[in-house]
Structure 1
Amino acid sequence: MASWNSALLEVIYQVLGWTAFVSWSLSFYPQVILNFRRKSVVGLNFDFVVLNLTKHSSYLIYNCVLYFSRAVQEQYREKYGYGEMIPVGANDVAFSIHAVLLTMIALCQIAIYDRGTQTISRISIAVVIAAWLTAAVCFFVALPHDSWLWLISIFNSIQVFITTIKYIPQAVMNFARKSTDGFSIVYILLDFLGGMANFSQMAMQSLDQGSFVNFYGNMGKTSISLICMFFDLLFMCQHFILYPSKRVAITANANKGLQEQLIKSVAVPPSHVV
């Protein structure tokens, strides 16, 4: 089994890994809290949440199997070399479990809070069904040959594919509304920090081992970091540059409406005037 050559790089690796875990884990809460305070999910794209659940569920299966299964770890080393380290850490497993739970909470909020006219698109439902059907077929293909590393690589590919497309409905929705109101920017900022920390963590391992195997040996982890950062930058651009006036206008109108309601509630009816 491979070991670290530099104690310093190992410490940095662990710090970056848990920084990614904390950032990505905390990133789920601002949206959940925003939904709770507003008692509304208007502005949060439902396709984004549904696709996100499939993405994180696939990633959870990949991380747990590669981290806990000795047989799969042996197959990994046979393919990439016995001197290579397993590219999944405890922080990856912990994040995946937490992500699935929080995404399920967001789905529950969609079911109980004000949704306006928003619905889950048939395209997203079809994508989710196709993803799980593909995984089921691959399971039965892998079963006779014990090709478990190949099987979990399918789950890894599914989560990469879902990660690539899951942000698109929200980005298009923001563009159509010309507003990011209802979609938490704090979520995006924390997501971006997590992506940077996650990618940097893999870079530390590559520097220590003098090899880039961990990057292409776990393309899922590499891809989600880069894809997340790309879309996070897009959402930041929408929030801070493209639609700030629209966001301010919505907030101002909401405050104005609240003030008018307060004035009406304390006004004395004309019939009571002497």
Structure 2
Amino acid sequence: MVVVSFGAFLSGLLGWLYFLAWSVSFYPQAILNYRRKSVQGLSIDFLVYNAFGFACYALYNLTFYASPAIRREYEDRNEGKSNLVQLNDVFFAVHAFLIASFTLGQSFVYKRNTTQELSFVAKAFLFISGIGIAALSVGITFRAAMWIDLLYFLSYIKLFISLVKYCPQVYVNYKAQSTVGWSIHNVLLDLTGGVLSMSQLVLDAARLDNWGGIAGNPVKLGLGLVSIAFDLVFIVQHYVLYRRSADFQRLSFPETDGGLGRRFQR
């Protein structure tokens, strides 16, 4: 009993630590945009993917955590075992959606290049996702599908977005041979959150003897693994490939560099 209680405590601690790291990771980029009064150097596709993906993730976590009906549907499909969605997952997803939406909103207010527009690929993905959500909703109405199917579809949207959302930003950095405009502090905090999230998921599976629960929460598993992989790519870009441009990153903060930031941006 003592071991189980300690395991539950450690799981909760890891959960809130990853919640803190991932939640705080959104703020450096928003602050950088505010200080520069610009979103130049950012991918609009990334901002849109991020907001839409976390909207899906928030609905997924909220419903799995708060709905007894959905929990019963999950148990029926998983030999009576409970899903592994925790309260910290809910708080993180909702908070992430709000701050990601705020950062997207900055792109409509602050300076950006004329080439910074939503791509055809991103528009097509949003349209297809909307069609899928509508089709499943109709299926639920006619009892051809269940609510849990719609939630899993939302989770797969989020997982797919997690796989692709950083690609446009990687390309923007590569094309500019620079990481100016992209906050490395966001990346470092995101990496920390990814490691902690994966640690909690594995710990929960071990203490509940439910290793299938890892695959049963594919969005959390995929989110952790993919975020870690892309964070490593951004770290290599910032500190190795485009190190000279990274040395000028501080010039994006004009209030601390005597105005050099303004000259550099021009």
Q: Which residue of 2 aligns with 1:172?
A: 171
The 5 Å alignment of 1:95-174 reads 95-117=92-114, 118-145=116-143, 147-174=146-173
Match of 1:36 among 34, 41, 45: 34
**Partner amino acid, structure 2, of 1:172:** Y
Q: Distance in 2 between matches of 1:174 and 1:260?
A: 20
* Offset of residue 258 of structure 1: 3.4
**CA-to-partner distance for each residue in 1:58-91, whole Å, 9 max, x for gaps?**
1111111111111110010111122x23211111
Q: Distance in 2 between matches of 1:49 and 1:161?
A: 15
- 3-state DSSP of counterpart to 1:50: helix
Q: Distance in 2 between matches of 1:21 and 1:162?
A: 20
Quick check: 1:194 aligned with 2:196?
Answer: no
Quick check: 1:54 aligned with 2:52?
Answer: yes
* Offset of residue 229 of structure 1: 0.5
Quick check: 1:258 aligned with 2:260?
Answer: yes
Q: Distance in 1 between matches of 2:69 and 2:262?
A: 67
Report which stretch shifted further, 3-12 or 18-27.
3-12
Q: Which has the larger radius of gyration?
A: 1
Task: Write out the 4+ residue segments of structure 1 that deviate beyond 3 Å after TM superposition.
Answer: 249-261
Q: Which residue of 2 aligns with 1:92?
A: 89
**CA-to-partner distance for each residue in 1:127-153, whole Å, 9 max, x for gaps?**
112212211111111233261111111
Q: Is the 8 A contact 2:47 2:104 kept in 1?
A: yes
- With structure 1 as the length reference, what TM-score do the two structures score? 0.88
- 3-state DSSP of counterpart to 2:75: helix
**CA-to-partner distance for each residue in 1:183-211, whole Å, 9 max, x for gaps?**
00111111111111111101111111223
**Partner amino acid, structure 2, of 1:22:** L
**CA-to-partner distance for each residue in 1:200-224, whole Å, 9 max, x for gaps?**
1011111112231211111111111
* Offset of residue 101 of structure 1: 0.9
Q: Is the 8 A contact 1:56 1:100 kept in 2?
A: yes
**Partner amino acid, structure 2, of 1:115:** R
**Partner amino acid, structure 2, of 1:114:** K
**Partner amino acid, structure 2, of 1:113:** Y
**Partner amino acid, structure 1, of 2:260:** L
**CA-to-partner distance for each residue in 1:29-58, whole Å, 9 max, x for gaps?**
000000000001001111100011111011
Q: Which residue of 2 aligns with 1:267?
A: none
Q: Is the 8 A contact 2:71 2:82 kept in 1?
A: no
Aligned residue pairs, count = 258
* Offset of residue 161 of structure 1: 0.7
The 5 Å alignment of 1:215-230 reads 215-230=214-229
* Offset of residue 249 of structure 1: 5.3
* 1:259–1:36 Cα change, 3 Å: closer
Q: Distance in 2 between matches of 1:142 and 1:241?
A: 51
**Partner amino acid, structure 2, of 1:90:** L
**CA-to-partner distance for each residue in 1:234-265, whole Å, 9 max, x for gaps?**
1011011111113325767996973998xxxx
**Partner amino acid, structure 1, of 2:98:** L
* Offset of residue 98 of structure 1: 0.7
**Partner amino acid, structure 1, of 2:64:** L
Q: Is the 8 A contact 1:4 1:209 kept in 2?
A: no
* Offset of residue 121 of structure 1: 1.4
Could you tell me which runs of 5 or more consecutive residues in structure 1 were left unpaired when the two chains were aligned: 262-274
- 3-state DSSP of counterpart to 1:232: helix
* 1:249–1:149 Cα change, 3 Å: closer
Report which stretch shifted further, 242-251 or 145-154.
242-251
* Offset of residue 122 of structure 1: 2.1
Q: Distance in 1 between matches of 2:95 and 2:2?
A: 28
Q: Is the 8 A contact 1:19 1:194 kept in 2?
A: yes
Q: Distance in 1 between matches of 2:231 and 2:60?
A: 24
**CA-to-partner distance for each residue in 1:151-186, whole Å, 9 max, x for gaps?**
111111111011111010000111111111100011
Q: Is the 8 A contact 2:239 2:246 kept in 1?
A: no
**Partner amino acid, structure 2, of 1:63:** N
Q: Which residue of 1 aligns with 2:183?
A: 184
